[in-house]
A = this chain, B = another copy of it.
Amino acid sequence: MQLRRSDVLDGAMAILDKYGLADLTMRRLATSLGVQPGALYWHFPNKQTLLGAMADRILVGVDGPVTSERWDDGIAELAHRLRDALLSHRDGAELVAATYASRMTSNLAREGFVGAGVRAGLPRPYAELAAYTLLYFVLGHTVDEQSRAQMEAVGALTRTPASPDTETAADLGSDQDLLDGDPRVRFDFGLALFIDGMRARAGLPATRA
């Protein structure tokens, strides 16, 4: 039974989900595929390339067209789609952040963000900068969020999450223990801050709260 490139990728994703990024080694992957370590190097030139392919797989679809008509809703939609994609695999945020550290230039939701910025009224170069800024935020927040969740699962965090029933940014009025609340609420706050900033830069009125 010959090993295909996609089999290697599938095996790698399975190890990631079950054991985490730290336990994803070429030797372990080889063993799980019933093959010698060296065999992997016929399909991928090195581990970094394999990680890159994994990151691409995690992010597949996030750059698709947006359904929202408003530019601000479009940005929120893309940001949530990106966050969801990162959270859908163990250590997904960390993997993507590490892999895209320097080649953020490429794919991702970047183009979508830029488009929304232009629709908002920002000149293109500004929209591009805004897109980067947004990406830094989404990646940073999600890496943090995911590593916290993992520590909590192992039982290492002290403070307990409050109001587990708050689910959207609309509940932001609660005002207390926001820091330990639903990560999505925290995420939405940063996102709103950012969108407000874009609106101000574009010289648009605050059409929404």
Chain A contact residues, CB within 8 Å of chain B: 94, 101-102, 104, 123, 125-126, 128-130, 132-133, 135-137, 139-141, 143-144, 147-148, 151, 172, 175-179, 186, 189-190, 192-201, 206
Contact = CB atoms under 8 A, between A and B. Distances in A.
A162 to B, nearest CB: 11
A128 B13 CA distance: 35
A157 to B, nearest CB: 9
Contacts of A198: 193, 197
Contact of A186 (B104, B132, B144, B177): B132
B192 A194 contact: no
Contacts of A144: 101-102, 104, 132, 136
Contacts of A129: 178-179, 186, 189-190, 193
16 contacts: A101-B144, A102-B148, A102-B151, A125-B178, A129-B178, A129-B186, A132-B144, A133-B141, A135-B140, A136-B137, A136-B139, A136-B141, A137-B140, A139-B140, A192-B201, A197-B200
Given A130-B190, A133-B141, A197-B198, 9 more contacts: A101-B144, A102-B144, A123-B175, A125-B177, A129-B193, A133-B193, A136-B144, A140-B140, A193-B198
Nearest to A98: B98
Contacts of A195: 197
A135 B190 CA distance: 11
